Amino acid sequence: MPGQLITYRECIKQAIREALQADERVFIMGEDVGRYGGAFAVSKNLLQEFGPERIMDTPLSEAGFVGAGIGAALGGMRPIVEVMTVNFSLLALDQIANNAATLLHMSGGQFNVPLVIRMSSGVGRQLAAQHSHSWEPLFAHLPGLRILSVGTHEDARYMLAPALADPDPVIIFEYTSMLNLEKELPDSAESIEISKAKVRRAGKDISIITYGTGVYKALEAATELAAAGIDAEVVDLRVLRPLDEETIVASVAKTNRAFLVEDASRSVSVSSEVSARIMERCFYDLDAPVQRLCGAEVPIPYPKHLEDASVPQPAQIVTAIKTLLQHA
């Protein structure tokens, strides 16, 4: 059912506000989340509404406040830790990889870490090489974490609640390039499953498998392909760890072709893993080799035209799929 027109930013903000209202154990902490209203205005005015004990500005120490979030989670709270941009997450990687991800295992199942870490990620808005990383593959490699990618307004609005309900650590990747993008949000969404991929557009000729900023690009490309008589299915992975293999396999078994799209560079990427699993489970269903369209193997440039050229665009998806299908 059609709903209100809303920005991606506002979807995230509404999700956070709803979580704070629903559970007194929930609080948000991070750099500039309080008085400044968040580096990307996601938490604007929440300090006035909920107070400094639940909207907590932290020192510029990712290792310190991510560690504090882990401790709070162990103590029974439900923290939302905001890492301003994904590049800063390296400063907290020890806490994430060696503590949050491992404590359940190392305690023999005694200690869950119900922590949500939100990170702004991806390419766009001319943030240059040090602030334009797509490091989802890095975190998707780590056992003990659930990795979510928010590629639609629906997920931006409704994915946080089930993430907070998870007893184990969840990392949510949000995308700075989409913050001002407006879409219609249904008045009431179905329950979001943070263990499942989602078919965003059904089709029969080829499966476009993607996540994050690739989702709307793929849907735009699919619309153009439809005008050329190509019926493309668009699969939003959404959950990068653990991958929902069954949805991927079912889609490829139906269309017999797979085309993978992601902003992260090709080497050791999410698409590398998806491609391997398709070859392992769907080889005899394939009518053509799996193909990928990924980000360039370069630090992301600052100039807009070079930034755009460094990641897949809808026109490239269309051209590549027409070539794959040998369509004029």
Catalytic one of 31, 62, 136, 262:
62
**Within-domain flag for 193:** no
Q: Which of 127, 159, 185 is the endpoint of a domain?
A: 185
Divide the 328 residues of the chain into consecutive groups of 10 and give the mean pLDDT of each group.
82 96 97 92 95 96 97 98 95 97 97 97 82 93 98 95 97 96 80 92 98 97 97 98 97 98 95 97 95 93 89 96 83
**Within-domain flag for 191:** no
Q: Which of 151, 185, 219 is the endpoint of a domain?
A: 185
Task: Answer yes or no: do 47 and 152 share one domain.
Answer: yes
Task: Answer yes or no: do 262 and 306 share one domain.
Answer: yes
SS3 sequence of 264-284: EECCCCHHHHHHHHHHHHHHH
**Within-domain flag for 165:** yes
Of 209, 197, 206, the C-alpha closest to 271 is 209
Predicted pLDDT at 191: 73
Predicted pLDDT at 124: 75
Predicted pLDDT at 4: 78
Q: How far is the C-alpha of 309 from the C-alpha of 89, rounded, in Å? A: 26
**Within-domain flag for 190:** no
Predicted pLDDT at 328: 46
Q: How far is CA 21 from the centre of its chain?
A: 24
Predicted pLDDT at 137: 96
SS3 sequence of 42-90: CCCCHHHHHCCCCEEECCCCHHHHHHHHHHHHHCCCEEEEEECCHHHHH
Asked if residue 244 lies in contact with residue 281, where contact means CB atoms within 8 angstroms, the answer is no
Q: Residue 118: phi, psi to the nearest 5? A: -100, 135
Task: Answer yes or no: do 13 and 128 share one domain.
Answer: yes
Task: Answer yes or no: do 227 and 100 share one domain.
Answer: no
The total number of structural domains that make up the chain: 2
Task: Answer yes or no: do 212 and 292 share one domain.
Answer: yes
Task: Answer yes or no: do 319 and 203 share one domain.
Answer: yes
List the domain range (segments joined by +) for residue 55. 4-185
Is residue 131 flagged as an active site residue?
yes
Task: Answer yes or no: do 214 and 160 share one domain.
Answer: no
Q: Return the amino acid letter for 310.
A: S
**Within-domain flag for 228:** yes
Predicted pLDDT at 2: 57
Predicted pLDDT at 327: 65
**Cβ-based burial of 269 (10 A; exposed 0-12, middle 13-18, buried ≥19):** buried
Catalytic one of 82, 131, 154, 307:
131
